[in-house]
Amino acid sequence: MTAPLLDLSGLRVTYPGRGFRARPHEVLHGVSLLAREGETLGIVGESGSGKTTLGRAVLGLVTPSGGHVRFRGRDITHASRKERRALARDIQVVFQDPYSSLNPALAVGDILSEPLTTQGATTREARARIAELLDQVGLPKDAARRLPREFSGGQRQRVAIARALASEPSLIVCDEPVSALDLTTRARVLDLFVDIQRRTSVAYLFISHDLAVIRHVSHRVSVMRGGEIVETGDAGQVTSLPRHPYTQMLLLAAPVPDPVAQRERREERHRLLARERAETGAVRRVEQGTDPGQFGS
């Protein structure tokens, strides 16, 4: 087997406490995962699970307090700003909000040309590449002359995707890239991600709270809870027949159109949640030495 494109081993991230004398808060607790060339690794979990912090650690936007981030075998955990600028050619990002991530004062052509000219492209080369990128994401050529506010949310996200593709990266970190879009637009943008990967072999680290979104785009899935990976496996297996109770609860939380089936899913989710709370309480009592059953009768 070839070496992984991205290798996270024992990754820890700690944030300072809020307020005077507040204790630091560890958000990631020794996360390890692998992403391969040309595949989509989905990261799914509820709000506060640490999935966005994981993506930010890969991008160098937060500094890990422990563990390693390796890209193509190279340790980039504590890469300098100069090294990060060089890595930007290979590692790009698409953020959640397609409007705030684009400079509202620049025309789309200027937004797309910025990473190209930074890397030494001539004006003619940049213009040709911009036309290619707009075609690649399904936008008209005259889009280069328009401002971001002149586009719909889905079109703005296509511009953000085009900007991420400009330097022909090997990996794009996609942080909730469709959560701000309506259902119809979301489906189109997800299909665009899949189509671009098919044509370019780019790898995605695809972060989302939505199991249905992750199922649509991913080859493999890692499920996060409380800063830890609780389950990893093939996307079809994890999103259809999960083994871990937390993943089962995520699956049951997804709405279905049948009211009877929806009620049954809700009841089953409540049963799983009650069982987990009971088991967690028993473990805590044993750890504290307050469970009379631990010593037998």
Percent of the chain with pLDDT over 90: 60
| Same-domain check for residues 210 and 134 | no
111 and 142, same domain (yes or no) = yes
For residue 122, what pLDDT is reported?
Answer: 87
| pLDDT tens, position by position, 117-154 | 888 888 889 899 999 999 999 999 899 999 999 999 89
pTM: 0.85
**Structural domains of the chain, count:** 2
Using the 3D structure, point to which of 151, 166, 181 is the last residue of a domain. 166
pLDDT at 287: 45
Asked whether residue 24 falls in the same domain as residue 140, the answer is no
- Segment 83-89 shows an average pLDDT of 91
Residue 151, domain member (yes or no): yes
Same domain, yes or no: 18 and 86: yes
Mean predicted confidence (pLDDT) in 35-42: 96
Q: Is residue 283 part of a domain?
A: no
Same-domain check for residues 76 and 152 = no
d(CA 136, CA 35): 24
Domain boundary among 147, 166, 185: 166
Find the CATH number of the domain harbouring 33. 3.40.50.300
In a domain, 287, yes or no: no
Residue 180 inside a domain? The answer is yes
Q: Which of 100-104, 159-163, 212-216 has the lowest mean pLDDT?
A: 100-104
Last residue of a domain, one of 166, 192, 214: 166
As a whole number of angstroms, the distance between CA 291 and CA 268 comes to 28
Average pLDDT, the chain: 87
pLDDT value at position 257? 61
Examine the domain organization and report whether 57 and 119 are in the same domain: no
The total of other beta-carbon atoms located within 10 Å of residue 124's CB is 8
Report the DSSP beta bridge partners of residue 34. Answer: 7
Contact assessment for residue 167 and residue 102, using Cβ atoms and an 8 Å cutoff: no
Domain of 32 in residue numbering reads as 1-90+172-235
For residues 83 and 147, membership in a common domain is answered with no
